[in-house]
Amino acid sequence: MRRVGAELPVAEGLAYGVGGQSLDVYRGGGLQEPLPVALLWHGRGADERDVLAPLASAVAAAGVLVLVPDWRPDAPDAGRSHLAESVAFARRNAARFGGDPERFVLAGWSLGAKAAIGVALNPDGLDGWRPTAVVGIAGGYGTAAPTTGAVPLDDLLGAGAPPPPTPVWLLHGTADTAVDVRQSRALRAALQRLGGRVTLVEADSDHAGVIMAEYDPASARCRPSTAAHARRAGARAARLVARAAGAGAQREDRMTV
């Protein structure tokens, strides 16, 4: 186990699932247990849990147990089994890391956001299980989610569809050229029409900046960013996930998104 900063222990490279994929666990020190749990899914790049390290650290520091798994969207099943196995691991093991599996937020960025939102709108993807809240960061919702094989907006707008019981929290950068902010606006509008509980936060940043990152063409991967817009947007994303998890109820002034 290593530490991020003075008080944040991180257990790295824990194996989960039958394929032995890896995940990291972030836990804030000195906080009353049990902590709410957030499972955070990365985007389209295969096995890129490291891309979410800055965001995961910030969420954990707000009082959340955060698990970040690798998964492979290029797998034959589009990563569905990896995502399902990561949920099963988190639910089964959260308590031993100091978390409360009954307060479980499912969050994702980019393709991971679509995967997470898909679960909230179509629980058949995970055998009827739904998280207590779901967070979609810079996601697109008009094509099939890897968790369900269905299009989230189609699930939501199906004939006679009731509003989903799971609160939905969205964050999107207004300068996002990879996934247009109108994707999140459309999902919010559809949820509002059904009477669903939805919050959309728009940040002055781009697709990677909302997770405190920037795209590096040389490596074809995202890396941590120190740009002011990324620091601001990433901090808002972290507060959003923490608020969705119910962390910091006694520190409401610090949880404003």
The string of pLDDT tens digits covering residues 107-119 is: 999 999 999 999 9
- Look up the CATH number of the domain holding residue 129: 3.40.50.1820
Q: pLDDT tens, 17-34? A: 998 999 999 987 656 779
117 is written with which tokens?
């939102």
- Rg for the chain, CA atoms, rounded: 17
Q: What is the pLDDT of residue 7?
A: 53
Domain count, the chain: 1
Identify the domain containing residue 37 by its residue range. 2-254
What value does the mean pLDDT take over residues 224-231?
A: 97
| Helix/strand number for the chain, H first, E second | 6, 11
| pTM of the shown model | 0.92
What value does the mean pLDDT take over residues 62-71?
A: 96
Q: H or E stretch including 178?
A: none
Residue 188 backbone phi and psi in degrees, to 5: -60, -45
Q: pLDDT tens, 141-184? A: 999 999 999 999 998 888 667 888 999 999 999 999 999 999 99
For residue 82, give the 3-state DSSP assignment: helix
Whether the predicted pLDDT of 254 surpasses 70: no
CA 196 distance to own-chain centroid: 19
Of 124-128, 223-227, 247-251, the one with minimum mean pLDDT is 247-251
